[in-house]
Amino acid sequence: MIVQVLGCSGAIAAGCRTTSFLLDDDVLVDAGTGVGDLSLDALARIEHIVLSHSHLDHVVSIPLLADSVMRRRAEAHRPVEVHALPETLAALRQHVFNGVIWPDFTRLPCAERPVLRLVPFAIGDVLELRGKRIEVLTARHTVPAVGFAVDGGASGCWVFTGDTGPNPALWERLRGLKVAHLVIETAFSDDEHELASISQHLCPAALGRELEGLEGTVDVHITHIKPGESESVMQQIEALGLRHRVHALAAGQSIRLGDRSTESGRDAEKS
């Protein structure tokens, strides 16, 4: 399986796209602005979207994607399924697909055959989507939120924390899993540790405390850094002297699950 990084930034600027990962070519993990780099053909191949939480930087491309693929998906006779916590789906219904911000694409082009279907999950569920096993993990954020563990077979799983502050329950769960890659957020630098704490994100010092709970030596990929902050955040993380292999995640990277190689290079259109 290939995990393609479409976006991993905490906000937007030229070259900075917000959170989204594409598993092979048919399952999307979060739907930030990075989705907009996919061709129309690639967008139309997406069958499932799993969402970590309701914040705009993670869901903004769903309403736009629905509009883009509606005609092509009509031939497939299958809605794109959006999987999330019930609270996240309720937020999308109330605040996005409400006829004011955007039309209700769960009833378009017609109520019998909509382009989107909203499917609730619960923490601890294991979703089986297009041959991929995805476990829903806990996260601690200002709104109900989750992370995901994608099963990569014998080599171990790809884990995405989602947006989260300190979360002891996550490390407890991961002790029972073989983790090959951990994508973990560090949204703020240590200079803004109070902001990180209030908004339930991590800063490098908090990241260091969290990673004490991660066993072994793991490829750790830092995500959700604010534009312009990458250098200082990564320097502060480096100064921690962690035992893990720590990298800054970048849009355009692909992580291959099933062996240990990580490919770099702009490869956003795998069509």
The contact set with Zn ion (CB under 5 A) reads 55, 57, 163
**Shortest separation between residue 32's beta carbon and Zn ion, angstroms:** 8
Nearer to Zn ion, 163 or 190 (CB): 163
Shortest distance, position 5 Cβ to Zn ion, whole Å: 15
Beta bridge partners of 148: 136, 160
CA angle centred on 263, ends 130 and 151, rounded to 5°: 35
Please check whether residue 146 is in contact with residue 137, taking contact to mean a CB–CB distance below 8 angstroms. Answer: yes
> Which of residues 142 and 264 has its CB atom nearest to Zn ion in the complex?
142
Distance of closest approach, residue 12 Cβ to Zn ion, in angstroms: 12
Nearer CB in complex with Zn ion: 109/228: 228
CB-based contact 152:158 (threshold 8 Å): yes
Residue 161: CB minimum distance to Zn ion, A: 11
Q: Where are the alpha helices (DSSP H) in 60-142?
A: 61-76, 86-95
- Of 48 and 55, nearer to Zn ion (C-beta) is 55
Instruction: Decide whether 22 or 69 has the Cβ nearer to Zn ion.
Output: 22
Residue among 156, 157, 137 at smallest CA distance from 147: 137
Cβ 2 to Zn ion shortest distance, Å: 23
Please state, in angstroms and rounded to a whole number, the distance separating the CA atoms of residues 33 and 44.
16
Query: Are the C-beta atoms of residues 177 and 157 closer than 8 Å to each other?
Result: yes
- Among residues 202, 226, 178, which one has the least CA distance to residue 19? 226
For 227-264, letters b (16+ CB in 10 Å) and e give: eebbeebbebbeeeebebebebbebbbbbbbeeeeeee
Tokens linked to 71: 């005609």
Closest distance to Zn ion from the beta carbon of 102 (Å): 20
Instruction: Show Cβ contacts of residue 15 under 8 Å, excluding neighbours closer than 6 positions.
Output: 251
- Which residues face 157 on adjacent strands? 179
User: Are the C-beta atoms of residues 202 and 233 closer than 8 Å to each other?
Assistant: no
What DSSP state is assigned to residue 226? P
| Minimum CB distance to Zn ion, residue 216 (Å) | 27
Select 161 or 254, whichever has its Cβ closest to Zn ion: 161
Min. distance of Cβ 113 from Zn ion in angstroms? Answer: 32
